[in-house]
Structures are given as structure tokens and as C-alpha cells.
């Protein structure tokens, strides 16, 4: 992947473009994420109800696609909707999907690290 593309996806977005975790319509948990790394960390912290709320509304894929500009990850997150996951199973799967993507962006295949 083009290093510029990786840097763009990995950047920290301004607070008005951050992701704000809600548990239902209008109920904000106080947790937000302004980068892909922060998003991955917060997946492990927020109430699982929040993950369910956003996944099935399509909010995660929309934010990843529009704010982070990562169409590939947005597609992977959209695929998760089909499995009907909930609770901790959803958290695990979402974390795995995002963390794999983050790892790939930070250390693309073929990169030799010393």
C-alpha cells in the first residue's frame, strides 16, 4: 500500500470528525476516538451495547469510510453485520478486524523491522 494512503488512514482527525460512542439514540457514553488506533482501543472499553447500536446502524463503516477514508476496512466492518453478532462476541470480532487492519497499515507485509 502507498505510504501516503497509510498515513492518511492512520492520522488523527479533528474532534468534530471523531467517532462518538452512543448506547442508543442521543445517549452519548463520553467515549470518543479520533484515530484508528484510538478506535481499536475504545472498542475494548465501551459498553457492548454501544458496539451493537453503531454496527447495525452502519455508523462504524460510515465513519471509517468518510472520516478515516479507509474503504477496505469499512467493507470488512459491513460484512460483520451479516453474522448477527452481539455482546462480547461482537466486541472480539470487531477488535480483531480493526487490529488486523491497523497492524497491516503500521507494518505492511514485506517490511523488515529491526
Partner 1 sequence: MKILAALQEDSRQTYTAIAKQMGLAHSTVYDRVRKMEQQKVIKNYTVLVDLEKVGFKNILAMMTIYTDPKETESVAEKLAEATEVLEVYTSLSDELLVMAKVAAANQDDLHDFVADYVAPLAGVLRIRTSIITRRLKETHFLISSYLKGLHL
Q: How far is the CB of 58 from partner 1 (least distance, A)?
A: 11
SS3 call for 98: helix
Q: How far is the CB of 7 from partner 1 (least distance, A)?
A: 24
Helix, strand and coil percent figures for the chain, each rounded to 5: 60, 10, 25
32 grid coordinates: 470518543
Using the rule CB under 8 A, is 13 a contact of partner 1? no
Query: Of 15 and 82, which CB lies nearer to partner 1 in the complex structure?
Result: 15
Q: How far is the CB of 19 from partner 1 (least distance, A)?
A: 9
Specify which residues 20 forms β-bridges with.
32
What is the C-alpha to C-alpha distance for residues 95 and 97, in angstroms, rounded to an integer?
5
Residues 14-73 that bind partner 1 (CB under 8 A): 15-16, 18, 20, 22, 25-30, 32
Amino acid at each position: 500500500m502507498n505510504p501516503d494512503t497509510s498515513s492518511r488512514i492512520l492520522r488523527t482527525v479533528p474532534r468534530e470528525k471523531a467517532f462518538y460512542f452512543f448506547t442508543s439514540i442521543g445517549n452519548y457514553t463520553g467515549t470518543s476516538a479520533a484515530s484508528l488506533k484510538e478506535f481499536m482501543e475504545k472498542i475494548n472499553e465501551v459498553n457492548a451495547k454501544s458496539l451493537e447500536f453503531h454496527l447495525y446502524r452502519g455508523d462504524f463503516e460510515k465513519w471509517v469510510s468518510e472520516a478515516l477514508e479507509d474503504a477496505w476496512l469499512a467493507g470488512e466492518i459491513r460484512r460483520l453485520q451479516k453474522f448477527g453478532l452481539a455482546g462480547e462476541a461482537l466486541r472480539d470480532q470487531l477488535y480483531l478486524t480493526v487490529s488486523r487492519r491497523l497492524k497491516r497499515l503500521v507494518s505492511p507485509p514485506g517490511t523488515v523491522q529491526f
